[in-house]
Amino acid sequence: MSGNTTGILEFLTIFILAMFVGNEVVARVPSILHTPLMSGSNAIHGIVLVGAMIIMGTASGTAQVVLGFLAVLLATLNIVGGFTVTDRMLEMFKSKPGDNPPKGKASADVEGGAK
C-alpha cells in the first residue's frame, strides 16, 4: 500500500497545513473548556476506525484478521466512547433557566450586590 513520491509530497503538504489549522482553531480556548476540548479531540482521532476498517477488509490469514478485528474494536471504543462522554460533559454546560425558584431569586440578588 505505498504510493509514489508525488503522492507522499501531497500528503506532506496536507499534513503541514493541517498542523497550522489545528494550532489556529484552539488558540484562544478558555480554561473552562480545556477538559471538554481534550475529550472532544480525543473522539475526533477515533476516526482511525476508518483505517481499521480498511485493513480489516483486506486482512488475510489468521494473524492479520485477529489483529484487524482488535483494531476495529479498539477504534470503535475510542470513537463511540469519546463522542458519548464529550456530549455528556457538554450537556451539563447549557444554562437551565428557572429550574429552581430560590436560585433564580438569589442570583438576581448577586447581580444587585455586585453593584
Partner 1 sequence: MTLAIWIDLIYLLAAVAFIVALKGLSSPKHARNGNLLAAGAAIVAVGATFFNPEAHFSSHTTNLVLAIVAMVLGAAIAVPVARMVKMTAMPQLVAIFNGVGGGAAALISIVVFLSDANLHSLGAPKPAVYAIAEGMLGLLIGCVSFSGSAIAFIKLQELITGRPITYPGQQIINGLVGVAIVSLAVATLLTDSVPLMIATAVLSLVLGVIFVLPIGGADVPVLISLLNSFTGLAVAASGFTLNNNLLIIAGTLVGASGILLTRMMSKAMGRSLSNVLFSAFGSVVTASGGADGTGETRQVRTGTPEDIGVLLAYARKVVIIPGYGLAVAQAQHTARELADLLMERGVEVFYAIHPVAGRMPGHMNVLLAEANVPYDELKEMDEANPEMATADVALVVGANDTVNPAAKNTPGSPIYGMPIINADEAAHVIFLKRSMRPGFAGIDNDLLFDEKTSLLFGDAKDTLAKLVVAVQEA
Q: Any contact of residue 51 with partner 1 (CB under 8 A)?
A: yes
Q: Any contact of residue 92 with partner 1 (CB under 8 A)?
A: yes
Residues 22-41 that bind partner 1 (CB under 8 A): 22-23, 25-41
Q: Any contact of residue 19 with partner 1 (CB under 8 A)?
A: yes
* Residue 24 near residue 51, CB atoms below 8 Å: no
Instruction: Tell me the number of residues near partner 1 by CB under 8 A.
Output: 94
Least Å distance, CB 108 to partner 1, is 10
Q: Any contact of residue 9 with partner 1 (CB under 8 A)?
A: no
- Residue 52-91 contact track with partner 1, rule CB under 8 A, x = bound: xxxxxxxxxx-xxx-xxxxxxxxxxxxxxxxxxxxxxxxx
